[in-house]
Amino acid sequence: MESEQTQQQPPQGVDLPAPTAWPLFFALGVALVFAGLLSSAFVSIGGGLLMLVAAVGWWRQVLPAEHHEQVAVQPEAAPVTLAAVIPVEYIRAGRERHRLHIPTEIKPYSAGVRGGIVGAIAMAGVAMFFGLISQGSVWYPINLLAAAAIPNLATASVEELRQFSALGLILGTVIHGLTSILVGVLYAVMLPMFPRRAFWWAGVSAPILWSGLIATTLTLVNPALAARIDWRWFVASQLAFGLTGGYVIARAQDIYTRQNLPLAVRAGIEAPGVLPPGVENTPSGQ
């Protein structure tokens, strides 16, 4: 009889996974690893060690035995009778009636390409001006950029970097152009995510942040090349790119982010016939 009564009694608690702070320490270690790229290698090493310790501690929460914590169960309350019936709006099947995209508007990819090209021209102008007044040659910054991929230019003397190099010009132009267009497209996608002062993020904050990242990374990867770069002028050229490219992108007309629209429409390209009947081919898709 006692066993039957015990079985009929509701459980006093429920076993849940025990709380642990190891995930927070693991996330802190990841943050320190990336923060070390902008400060010191010792910060990254410390972050890596913290990640290792946190991973072991987190793993031991599961093996060899899972840690649990019993949480008391509250008795079920009496059902509450609503005085009025609240109508429920059901999801209607069809175009975009069940999903919200954040951000709701972005810049067209074509605006990012235009901004990247304009920013690349402005950036090249600042770099060539630096080469002219500091080294007496506009080819110095171009050859220095190409030196990242050409070992001969990386070990060349200053006098050799001042001379014209067809290979350096071609390779430097390709690297500079492709990188600028890629960053311009990223700007077009990411800037609408900033609710306020997006232009200042693109023109000032982002160039300063990635300049610090490039300087720290290049110092570790290629110290000889990093020693040849005047980082004040490097930051100035990045700011020129961010201000001009960001301005062009910010002035572009917004388009709605719609997952079911074709890529041509999202890119701001006139493409008649790619939309369903009744939907105009406008930048907003409406």
Tokens representing 221? 């990867």
Q: What's the average model confidence in pLDDT over 127-144?
A: 86
The Cα–Cα gap between 23 and 59 comes to 10
For the stretch 174-207, pLDDT in tens is 888 898 999 888 888 777 776 666 667 777 788 8
The amino acid occupying position 37 is L
In a domain, 266, yes or no: no
State the total domains in the chain: 2
For the ranges 148-152, 167-171, 233-237, which has the lowest average pLDDT?
Answer: 148-152
In a domain, 91, yes or no: no
Do 115 and 189 lie in a common domain?
yes
Do 40 and 146 lie in a common domain?
no
The number of C-alpha atoms within 13 Å of 53 and in the hemisphere containing its C-beta is 11
Q: If you average pLDDT over each of 24-33, 82-91, 150-159, which comes out highest?
A: 24-33
For the ranges 34-38, 155-159, 234-238, 279-283, which has the lowest average pLDDT?
Answer: 279-283
pTM of the model: 0.54
In a domain, 83, yes or no: no
Q: Which residue has the higher pLDDT, 138 or 200?
A: 138
The CATH number of the domain where 22 resides is what? 1.10.287
In a domain, 186, yes or no: yes
Do 48 and 127 lie in a common domain?
no
Residues above pLDDT 90, as percent of the chain? 7
Q: Tokens 């508007």 label which residue?
A: 105
Banded model confidence at residue 261, pLDDT cuts 50, 70, 90: low
In a domain, 146, yes or no: yes
In a domain, 211, yes or no: yes
User: What is the rounded average pLDDT for all residues in the chain?
Assistant: 76
Q: Is the pLDDT of residue 49 over 90?
A: yes
In a domain, 78, yes or no: no
> Are the CB atoms for 191 and 201 separated by under 8 Å?
yes
Q: Is the pLDDT of residue 60 over 60?
A: yes
In a domain, 79, yes or no: no
Residue at a domain's end among 70, 96, 114: 70
At residue 231, the pLDDT reads 83
How many CB atoms lie under 10 A from the CB of residue 31? 14
**Domain extent at residue 28:** 13-70
